[in-house]
Every structure is written in structure tokens, then in C-alpha cells.
Chain A
Amino acid sequence: MALLNIFSKKKRTGTKPRGRIRPPYLGFFCLGLFFLSVIFADVIAPYDPQEGDLFNTTIPPVWQEEGSLAHILGTDMLGRDVLSRIIHGSRMSLLISVGCILFYGSIGVTLGLVSGFRGGRTDMVIMRLADLWLSLPAIIVLFMLASVHGPSGKTIILTFGIMGWPNYARIVRGECLGLKQRDFVRLARVAGCSKLRIMFSHILPNIVNTIIIMATIEIGFIIVMTATMSFLGLGTQPPSCDWGLMLAEGRQYITYASWLVTFPGIAIVITVLGFNLTGDWLREVLDPKQKLR
């Protein structure tokens, strides 16, 4: 599949070769930082993120007066090391975002397949539903669910799981419509394959690339949304070290401990930038016809 080709230096033949698209080094770097934190958090974080040292609360970062090398990015109001919390926070972000994407991704892909494949009224109904869904703000669902279930990371996953499927459904449906006309699908039908089998064994493998690209593009958005919701208090709750939550907690101390709000934000920006830059590059490389825009 095309994913493998991007690393091979095979010379392109033909009269219209594409320009070599520069890989996003900055994006890779940011993602590298992120995944390093996720995988090796326990090893590289200097302190336990939940352990607070009440004798050492609100110590500023090392480059300010009163800062110390013991806590490079300072400590928060409970004496917890900011750097360690940020590193561990990456896990929260990844966990929740992946949870969301898996949830709405499966709904979206399935609905998209059904819609694209069956066509007709089913298609029309699902697409109108998608149009509608897209315009509703996720936050109202969050309010409802949080009121009823209480706020938590799970609530966020549920919210986005319910709200996020239309984009996926639309794009998958588009691809489906195109693939439906292709010979190998027609042959499968002639051979008597059941519709389900065609959908999952024939069409699905061909759209995997698209699904992956979409996931990369969307994950940045989801991370920001997750942080926002936790910031508002509707998502993950203390003492979790979600970045949005850290920002919310730090906000009260903004006048004299501004590092508590600056660094979690920077962490979010770096991560999202990494995903966005990489996602854009992946899209250019794997989807030259720009079907996804």
C-alpha cells in the first residue's frame, strides 16, 4: 500500500512525476517529544506527578529567582512538579483522544460504508443526518451528559463518540461511491459475495489510507477539545494531570505563578502542532488528488 512507498526512494517514472514533498521535520520533532512522554513517562519524569511536597509549593521555574534545578519547570500549589505532571499528562491526552477517535471512527466508517454502498434512501437519510449533526456544537451534548453522568474523561469520550462521526461518514461514503464502480467490486458482486462481505473485505482495505489520514488530522482537534472541556471542569477531574485541568487549577494563581498556566498550554500547542503538520504532510503524500479537503 501507499504507506510503504513514502519511505522507498524508488524513482518515479512517467511523464508527470510529483515534486518531492519535504517531510515536516518540525512536526516529527514535536510528535517525537509527545510519544516519548507517553511511552517513557515513568522513566523520564523526575517525580511522581501526584506526589505533592507541601514544603515546596509554587516554586518558580529554574530560570527565575528562587527557582531551582530540582524543579525545572517549577511546582504547583500542592508542591507537585510541573514537568512531571506535563509529561504524564500526555498519556491522558492520548488515551482520551484515541478513545474518542476509535469510538466515533467506527461509527462513522460503518455508517459511511453503509451509506455509500447501499445508496438510495439510506444514503440520503444518513447524509442529511450527518449534515445536521455537524452543525450541532458538541458542548451541548457535553453539558447534558455531564449533568446526568457527572463530569469525567469517560464523559468526554462519550460526547465525542456520539458527535464526531459525520466527517468520517461523509468521506468514507465518498470513497465508497467511487470504489463501487470499480471492476473488482463489480466482479465480487457477480461472484455472489454478500453485501457485508464486499463492504468489509473489499472496500474497507482500500480506504484504510484515508481513515488513517483523517485520524491524524482530527486528533489534534480532539486533543484541544479535550483540554478545553477539562479546563471548564466538565471533563477529567482532579487529581488527574490532564493539561486542560492543570491550566484551570493554575488560573487562580496567574498573577504570581504564571508558569502554571504557560507550560501546560505550550505542551498542548507542541502536541497539536506535531499532529497537524504530520497530518498535512501525510495527506499530501498519500492523497495527491486532495479528495479529503
Chain B
Amino acid sequence: MGYSGMQTNGDNLLELQDVKTSFFTKQGEVRAVDGVSFAIGKGEVVGLVGESGCGKSITSLSIMRLVPQPAGKIISGRILFKNEDLMQKSEDQMRQLRGDRISMILQDPMVAMNQLLTVGQQLGEPFRFHDKVKGSLRKMCINLLRKVKVPAPERRVDDYPFQFSGGMSQRALIAMGIANNPDLLIADEPTTALDVTIAAQVLKLMKEIQKDTRSSIILITHDLATVAQICTRVLVMYAGRIVEQASIKTFYKNPAHPYSKGLIHSVPVLGRPVDRLFSIDGQPPSLFDMPEGCRFSPRCTRAEKRCFKHYPPETMLEDNHSVACWLYAGD
């Protein structure tokens, strides 16, 4: 199974090669991530888009090798980070990378923070456990809060998470993520739990920070609007696989995969009234019961016979635009 998008070269920060992660349950194997390949360059902001349950979160957990055990396991594939295969690293080596070179921001800040420790204590952990403490740990935490624009950081650093508002807690999470200026930051639905105005502020903050630190960001979301705001490239995921990769402009101008088209079409446009809001018919396939061919075929309006039987190969359309669909595969 080949992969395209950015070609393999030593310059990529992160490269996934045919990664497969499954969960082994009493009813059988759940193939949450079923052969995912893509590459992220230095300083790139890439959006990973897909609906709930398509495997995007598990992909990010796989990169960090934090797939929930004992049921979950990365069964094959390589994960190259700065040209080193993370799959070959020991748990201790991974632990050193986490929070330092690779970091992640979780979705719901209320649940992602320990309510029994102060925000300051939790902010300090990335510094403490990677030997990055220079001078006063407390001052470092205060500065960190300042970086994410939390007002009155000297007071806030001693507060508990439940004393923070939604937007502020998300900033605190971002702070924890960027503490050691990681090369790669994975943001898993960072704005989903926030209301629209706060979400906009947080996104703006992320954009600024990214300009500053030049980290690469993988932004996981189901919301196309978020992607449009800060990403330069889009990866579309469906039922455990990547079905399309494109730059932002190309994606919005010329979405190739029927699923991508459906997604874009579903977003209502202000000023353009419709009788009925569009939604893609049907449901994603059960993870226990994957169809043999293209996974989207049951819902696809343009499905042909071969779509149901064989999984389509990945086809390069133009530069950096690839799609896995029989419509483009030629013969």
C-alpha cells in the first residue's frame, strides 16, 4: 500500500508509514486506525478532519504511543519522528519525548486537568520532569501563563482548575502543551468544548504562538471552519483511513473525494438560503464490520460496482493533492 502526499525525504518532521492500531475486544478486533500514512513538515499546520469515531484521536494517541492498554495496540507501521522510528523506542525514551518534543492538547479542559492540584503545579510538570527548571519554577509557570494571555498570572498560578473559566482553562492546557517549545504539537479538538467567541480567541492565540515558535501543529477537528482558519493543509479521514490530502486552497476549491465534497457541502453559507440543510446520508460503518471495498461506498452517490469490492488505490491528482477513490484511479 503506497502513500503519497509529501514525498519521503529527510526533511519531514513526522512521517507515518502504514500505521495500524487496533483494539482487541471480546467481540473481535476493532481496526480504529487501518493503514494511515502521511507526513508533516517543519512548521506546518495540518488539519486532520473527520467525523466522530473515524480514528483521528487514536491516530494522535498512536503517534504518542499512548494508546489505551491493554485492549489497544499499534500492530504495524512506522512512525518516523525526525527520522527516528518511534516504534523502536523504549517506554522511557518515549516518556522523555512526550511533553518536550511532542506534545498534545486535549479536548475538554475541565476534565483534562486534575482538580486536586493547582494549575501552577500542573504547569510545572513539563519543566520538572524534563530537567528544564532554570531558577524559580514558579516564575517559569507565571511566564507561561502570560504567554497564553491569561490575565493576572501571578494570582492565577495558585488557583485550582475549577476556578478557571472555560476559555482560560483551554489556554492553560495550551500552555502545558507549549511549555518546552515542542517540535510537534497535536491539538485534539481544542475548541469543540468552547463557545464560538472564546473558540475564536483561542484559535487566534494558537496562530500567534505557532508563528512565534515555529512548531508543527496537527489540528484534529470535525469542524471545517476551524481548519480554514489556521491550517495550510488538510487530511481527511474516514473509517480508519485517510481518503484525501490537499492544501487548504485546493481542498476548498476542488475537493476530490465524494466524502470531502459532502463535508463542504454540509456547511451552510450565510446569505445563501436553502430549503433543507444538506447532510450525507447514512452512517459510518460499524468498526466491527468494515465493508470490503471503499468504506464510503454505502453512502456514496457515485459508487460503482468496483467501489464495493476493492479498496481504491491512492491517486496523485496535482502537486500535494492525493485521493483514494476509484473515480480518479483511471483503470
A and B touch in the complex (CB under 8 A): yes
Binding site for B on A (CB under 8 A): 13-15, 17, 19-20
- Which B residues from 1 to 54 make CB contacts under 8 A with A? 25-27, 53
Whether B26 contacts A19 by the Cβ 8 Å rule is yes
A13–B287 Cα gap in the complex (Å)? 11
Residue among A14, A17, A20 with most chain B CB within 10 A: A17
Chain B min CB distance to A51 (Å): 53
- Closest chain B CB from A15 CB (angstroms): 5
B286 touches A19 (CB 8 A): no
Chain B: interface residue count, which band?
under 10
Report the minimum CB–CB distance from B184 to chain A (whole Å): 30
Which of A15, A19, A20 is within 8 Å of B287, CB to CB?
A15
Contact B53 A15 (CB under 8 A): yes
Contact assessment for A17 and B27 in the assembled complex, using a CB-CB cutoff below 8 Å: yes
**Of all chain A residues, which has the CB nearest B287?**
A15
- Which single residue of chain B is at the shortest CB-CB distance from A12? B27
Q: Is the CB of A19 within 8 A of B25?
A: yes
Is B288 in contact with chain A by the CB < 8 A criterion? Answer: yes
Q: In the docked arrangement, what's the CA distance between A53 and B200, Å?
A: 90
CB neighbours of A19 from chain B (8 A): 25-27
One of A13, A14, A15, A20 near B26 (C-beta < 8 A): A20
Q: Which chain A residues lie closer than 8 Å to B287 at the CB level?
A: 15
> Shortest CB–CB separation between residue B28 and chain A, in angstroms?
10
Interface string of B232-273 (1 = CB under 8 A from A): 000000000000000000000000000000000000000000
**A282 CA to B135 CA in the complex, in Å?**
57
| Contacts A17-B288, A19-B26, A20-B26 known; 7 new A-B pairs at CB < 8 A | A13-B286, A14-B286, A15-B53, A15-B284, A15-B288, A17-B27, A19-B27
Q: Tell me, in angstroms, the Cα distance from A160 to B25 when the chains sit together.
A: 43
Q: In whole Å, how far is A12's beta carbon from the nearest beta carbon of chain B? A: 9
- CB B90 to nearest CB in A, in angstroms, measures 32
A-contacting residues, B277-327, CB 8 Å: 284, 286-288
| Nearest residue, chain A, Cβ from B284 | A15
List A contacts of B53 (CB < 8 A): 15
User: Min CB distance, A284 to chain B, in Å?
Assistant: 13
CB distance from A13 to the nearest CB of B (A): 8
Chain A nearest CB from B283 CB (Å) reads: 8
B25 neighbours in A (Cβ, 8 Å): 19
The distance from the CB of B240 to the nearest CB of chain A, in whole angstroms, is 12
Q: Find out whether the CB atom of A15 lies under 8 angstroms from the CB atom of B27.
A: no
A17 to B287, CA, bound (A): 10
A-B contact pairs, 13 of them (CB 8 A): A13-B286, A14-B286, A15-B53, A15-B284, A15-B286, A15-B287, A15-B288, A17-B27, A17-B288, A19-B25, A19-B26, A19-B27, A20-B26
With CB as the reference atom, state the residue of chain A lying closest to B283. A15
Cα distance, A20 to B28, chains bound together (Å) = 12
- What residues of chain A lie closer than 8 Å to B288, measured between beta carbons? 15, 17
Per the bound structure, the CA–CA distance linking A19 and B25 in Å amounts to 7
Q: Which residues of B contact A13 (CB under 8 A)?
A: 286
Chain B residues contacting A20 (CB-CB under 8 Å) are: 26
Closest to B288 in A: A17
